[in-house]
Amino acid sequence: MLFWILLVSSGGNWCCIGLHDAWATNLKTGVSQDQPVPKIITRPLAEKIQHSSESPIPSNPAPLTIATADPNQASTEELETIQQRQDSAQREVQPSDNSQGAPEGMEQILNPPQMNQPEGLERFRLLLQEPRQPPPESSKDNELGLRVRPRPLKQLPPPSKPPPESSKDNELGLRVRLRPLEQLPLPPTEKPVVQFKPIGYLRANVGYFQTSNIFSANDRPIEDGLIFSGLTLASAYFPLGPKTYINGSINGNLIRYVDQSKYDYNQLRFNLGLYQQLSQRMYGEISWSNQQLFFADQGDRFLNENALRLSLGRRDPLTQRLALDTLYELSVNFADPQSRSRVVNSFWVSLSYYLQKPLNIGLDYQVNLSDFTQRDREDQFHRLFGHLNYRISNSSNLNLQTGFTLGGSTTPNIDFSGWFLSVNYNVELGRF
């Protein structure tokens, strides 16, 4: 009986020694990543390791055959090896700025708890017995999701320790934590450039006027032309209210006849006006002007005239390019000699068509009714003509007028009938 007991005990010891040697050999050689995982490996752990392999982890993962043996037989050194491999995988998967926590489902693989000898083995056994879960989102998608987050104005150095991850961030997975922006110094305040606002301008003009009846004579009309050139010093429109402006000007012209040079004269004119905008399309103006005429040869003055004018104007756009302008003016003239004193009623209407932005053409009609106050004389003057206005630049423009004049006077020897042509060029010399 003692012999059979010794024989059975000896055979059992040799069998256990053989199994222990086979298990140790399998642990040293490991299982290649390309080989299929043994069936004894639990399915949940194999799936989690397979999903984690999509992340940039080391090419030589920890041996998986340790799961084929009893977890109670795993040594502390083997568990530390697995922990080091998982920690290295975690560092490579997480973004460099630590702005996002690990997604749900990978926490147990990327962030395993610190294991002690008996307590760690128990948690490891519970991990193997977990039920199968749906595959978590890949770290690649999470990394792409981070690329849409706003970047801080200035890249801050990484902190010495990663910020703690809250449980809420771990549950959501894709929540982005933004670093507080570094306080940047305020840009240097630049003084606003004060825009120059001119209070006046200087303008030059030159023109030519040709007519078939230069002296408005009834019995013997004379065809001649006038050449005139001059300077105008004018102020800007100074606002006195939201829609009220005031301006003034001084104008001087040299007027020369082409053939009748003995009648050449010079003109000096002062003007002061008060402008009022009555509505979006209508305006009014009250002005005073003084006109003085001098003979070109002797320099003697032969006319000094003061005029008070009241004007009402309106512009009505008919289409995008067609506009109708109307103007009424009442003028009371006090002249020296007094024989030239009169009251004038004028009405002017113009239909303008804008071919291009700097060019417009139109048809005009003007009528003047003059009543002399110091003698028995009344004049009627009608003018029908076409015009062409071309703005050459922001400081110069060209004006062309041509048409017919009709009218007469109670004085027998006066007749205004004839044709005319007028060309004017204006250029702004400067502003001040």
Q: What is the pLDDT confidence band of residue 186, given thresholds at 50, 70 and 90?
A: low
Q: Which amino acid is at 71?
A: P
pLDDT at 67 over 60: no
> What pLDDT, on a 0 to 100 scale, did the predictor assign at position 223?
96
Q: Which residue has the higher pLDDT, 211 or 12?
A: 211
CA pair distance 113, 119, nearest whole angstrom = 11
% of the chain exceeding 90 in pLDDT: 52
Could you tell me the pLDDT band of residue 193, with boundaries at 50, 70 and 90?
A: confident
Helix axes 76-93, 117-128, angle to 10 degrees: 60
Residues 347-396: tens digit of each pLDDT: 999 999 999 889 999 999 999 999 999 999 999 999 999 999 999 999 99
pLDDT tens digits along 35-61: 443 333 333 333 333 343 333 333 333
Instruction: Report which of 165, 217, 212 is spatially closest to residue 415, judged by C-alpha positions.
Output: 217
- Which residues share a beta bridge with 227? 208, 256
Say if residues 78 and 102 touch (Cβ distance below 8 Å).
no
72-86, 138-152, 305-319: least confidently modelled range: 72-86
Torsion-angle region of 195 (φ positive above 0: left; ψ -120 to 50: alpha; else: beta): beta
Residue 308 has pLDDT above 90, yes or no: yes
Contact 291, 267 (CB under 8 A): yes
Q: Alpha carbon of 380 to those of 198, 366, 400, 416: distances in Å?
A: 42, 11, 24, 9
Look up the pTM and report it: 0.57
Q: pLDDT category, 97, cuts 50, 70, 90?
A: very low
| Domain edges within the chain | 31-151, 201-431
**201-431 maps to which CATH number?**
2.40.128.140
Is the pLDDT confidence value at 12 over 60? no
Query: How do residues 128-141 score in pLDDT, each as one tens digit?
Result: 666 655 555 544 44
How much is the pLDDT for 333?
Answer: 97
Least confident of 115-124, 199-208, 213-222, 321-330: 115-124
With a pLDDT cut of 70, the percent of the chain lying above it is: 56
pLDDT of residue 284: 96
Higher pLDDT, 397 or 174: 397
What's residue 296's pLDDT?
94
